[in-house]
Amino acid sequence: MAAIGTWAFSYPVVEKMKLHLLQQKPATDCVEESLADVEDNLETGKYIVGRGGYPNRDGQVQCDAAIMEGRPGRFGAVAALRCIGTPVSVARQIMEKSNHSMLVGEGALAFAKDQGFKVEDNKRMLSPESAKAYQDFTEKKKECKGHDTLATGDGDKIMCFCPSFHVVHLMKQGLCPADACQAVLNDIQERIGTKDMFEIGLIAMNIKGDVGAASSVEFPYTFWHNGREDVQLHTQLPI
């Protein structure tokens, strides 16, 4: 039994997963219930996760979530889902009840409604901080004479290299999680050069519960396995 989480705010999530796992709850239930608590917490929104997160350019809070099971080999995901406080639960329902593996936007919302999820007004998805951030954004737009640009984040760059797939492949070949993560990070840096290296953090766990990470920035993460009493917080330093 083991659990990992990215960034320091995942500590209470991994702590809750630890308690659920020790109670012998099914792993998928542990993941869904623990993540749903974070998604539905306004305080976590400042980390751009779930309720209280920053809205898009139209003022709508849109959330993504995914959940998977290695056996029998299936997953469910939502993207750009609005007005639902626990998108991971919708993702699970997609995995278990839909012919599709991923639904987005209004299609995801329609599916959530069909499954009986509570649909809330967008205002309830905003925290005072995220509402003010959007107000500040709209004020700046009024001052612009030309076009405005919104950054999409480094996730778009990360996807081009399929790093998670490569880490798992290297672990299947016998590398430990830390070495596998570092090898993939080194490969990316060699291909694009140090000057153009973007923000990326990799973390992996093998079936033994061994954890390893590699990162281009300072990257805190949390982990636990049944050989430890407490959840551990570790910071991976950049290469």
Final residue belonging to a domain, choices 114, 148, 182: 148
For the stretch 135-190, pLDDT in tens is 998 888 655 443 333 333 478 899 999 999 999 999 999 999 999 999 999 999 99
Residue 142 is predicted with a pLDDT of 59
Supply the CATH number for residue 205's domain.
3.60.20.30
185: which residues sit within 8 A by CB, 6+ positions away? 163, 200, 202, 214, 215, 216, 239
Per-residue pLDDT of the chain (239 residues; tens, 9 = 90+): 999 999 999 999 999 999 999 999 999 999 999 999 999 999 888 888 899 999 999 999 999 999 999 888 999 999 999 999 999 999 999 999 999 999 999 999 999 999 999 999 999 999 999 999 999 988 886 554 433 333 334 788 999 999 999 999 999 999 999 999 999 999 999 999 989 999 999 999 998 889 999 999 999 999 999 888 899 999 999 97
Residue 202 is predicted with a pLDDT of 95
Work out how many domains the chain is built from and give that number.
2
Closest CA to 155 of 239, 48, 36: 48
Residue 147 is predicted with a pLDDT of 35
Same domain, 187 and 237: yes
The DSSP code for 56 is: -
Same domain, 88 and 105: yes
Q: What is the 3-state secondary structure (H, E, C) of 129-187?
A: HHHHHHHHHHHHHHHCCCCCCCCCCCHHHHHCCCHHHHHHHHHHCCCCHHHHHHHHHHH
Range of the domain at 81: 40-148
Q: Tell me if 134 is assigned to some domain.
A: yes
CB 74 within 8 A of CB 99: no
Q: Tell me if 213 is assigned to some domain.
A: yes
Same domain, 144 and 155: no
Residue 144 is predicted with a pLDDT of 43
Q: Tell me if 31 is assigned to some domain.
A: no
Q: How many CB atoms lie within 10 A of CB 123?
A: 9
Residue 143 is predicted with a pLDDT of 55
Same domain, 59 and 91: yes
CB 4 within 8 A of CB 205: yes
Residue 45 is predicted with a pLDDT of 82
Same domain, 161 and 103: no
Same domain, 160 and 200: yes
CB 197 within 8 A of CB 184: no
The whole-angstrom distance between residue 108's C-alpha and the CA centroid of its chain comes to: 18
- Determine what percent of the chain falls in helix, strand and coil, rounding each to the nearest 5: 45, 20, 35
